[in-house]
């Protein structure tokens, strides 16, 4: 990412990371997509985005992403999808400050897309409801709707059938190994378990937190295996999504920070709080309130 000054652009819009606290692959559809059961929870580690509305309909990305052409950037695709769905003639300049690693299983690109949809729906005045935005979101990626809705969720289907859940909000130590895991490669791997028995939310809450992608990722990505082995010294680690990021759960922030300071130097380590409500919804509430004050003045 090539950073540019964001001074004077106003309050940014957050695009939070997520963790998959459990991931079961319970089947495969004829079109190749996998049937899943998973649990999403947000954390307070976020990318930050700024949106400058244009009158000419152009959508421009003003911060580059290594290896991602502008036309393929999910923020650009999200903005254009919203234009197409609503007929909106406005455009936007998009600036993004990346804090979330690519290919880490934290959902950074999907979250950036969702933030773009939610922010522009407000800034452009297109006034779509949450269900309509989620329909636009799904073709952009199976994880995008959960970021649009902004609530921790039990998910089924390809991850699009969401049921809000209230979960404990612990502290997480997240490690980002120096590698990127291809979700496509993991789901195409011949050794991936694809017939796990379906469970219920109560089973997960009772401790059934298996990630079916873990064995494939451990064997195929030695840096992930090494990070998990290190976390085993502190009570065990878990894989989020298809990785590469791994995490451990702590009740106490100071304890999580203490362990993070001992992480090997080659691992990016950070501590974040689990959240059942996305900070994106709080930012949207601020924007709505601000717009109402302007309208009433």
What is the number of other CB atoms lying within 10 angstroms of the CB of residue 45? 19
Residue 104 annotated in ligand binding: yes
Quick check: is 200 catalytic?
A: no
What span, in angstroms and rounded, lies between the C-alpha atoms of 189 and 196? 16
Residue 108 annotated in ligand binding: yes
Residue 125 annotated in ligand binding: no
Quick check: is 18 catalytic?
A: yes
Residue 157 annotated in ligand binding: no
Residue 22 annotated in ligand binding: no
Residue 236 annotated in ligand binding: no
Radius of gyration of the chain (CA): 19
Which residue out of 18, 73, 98, 112 is catalytically annotated?
18
Dmax (CA) of the chain: 63
What span, in angstroms and rounded, lies between the C-alpha atoms of 243 and 160? 19
Bridge partners (DSSP) of residue 172 are: 249, 272
Structure token digits, residue 177: 């190994």
Which residue out of 47, 73, 112, 143 is catalytically annotated?
143
Pairing outcome for strands 171-176 and 246-250:
antiparallel
- Taking the chain, what is the end-to-end CA distance rounded to the nearest angstrom? 40
Residue 220 annotated in ligand binding: no
Residue 5 annotated in ligand binding: no
Residue 237 annotated in ligand binding: no
Binding residues for ATP: 101-111
Binding residues: 101-111
Residues annotated as catalytic (active site), given as ranges: 18, 143
């Amino acid at each position: 990412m090539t950073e540019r000054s964001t001074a004077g652009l106003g309050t940014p819009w957050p695009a939070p990371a997520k963790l998959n606290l459990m991931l079961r692959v319970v089947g495969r559809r004829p079109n190749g997509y996998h049937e899943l059961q998973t649990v999403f929870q947000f954390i307070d580690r976020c990318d930050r985005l700024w949106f400058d509305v244009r009158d000419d309909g152009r959508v421009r990305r003003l911060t580059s992403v290594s290896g991602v052409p502008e036309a393929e950037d999910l923020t650009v695709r999200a903005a254009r999808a919203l234009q197409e769905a609503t007929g909106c003639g406005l455009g936007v300049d998009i600036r993004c400050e990346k804090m979330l690693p690519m290919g880490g299983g934290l959902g950074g690109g999907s979250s950036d897309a969702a933030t773009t949809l939610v922010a522009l729906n407000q800034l452009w005045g297109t006034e779509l409801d949450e269900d309509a935005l989620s329909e636009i979101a799904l073709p952009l990626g199976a994880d995008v709707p959960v970021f649009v809705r902004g609530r921790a969720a039990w998910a089924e289907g390809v991850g699009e059938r969401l049921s809000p859940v209230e979960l404990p909000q612990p502290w997480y130590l997240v490690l980002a190994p120096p590698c990127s895991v291809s979700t496509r490669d993991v789901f195409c791997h011949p050794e991936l378990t694809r017939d796990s028995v379906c469970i219920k939310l109560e089973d997960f809450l009772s401790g059934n937190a298996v990630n079916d992608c873990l064995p494939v990722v451990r064997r195929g990505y030695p840096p992930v295996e090494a990070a998990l082995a290190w976390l085993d010294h502190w009570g065990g680690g878990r894989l989020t999504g298809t990785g590469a990021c791994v995490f451990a759960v702590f009740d106490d922030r100071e304890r999580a920070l203490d362990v993070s300071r001992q992480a090997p130097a080659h691992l990016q380590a950070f501590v974040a709080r689990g959240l059942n409500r996305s900070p994106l919804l709080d930012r949207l509430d601020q924007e709505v309130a601000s717009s109402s004050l302007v309208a009433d003045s």
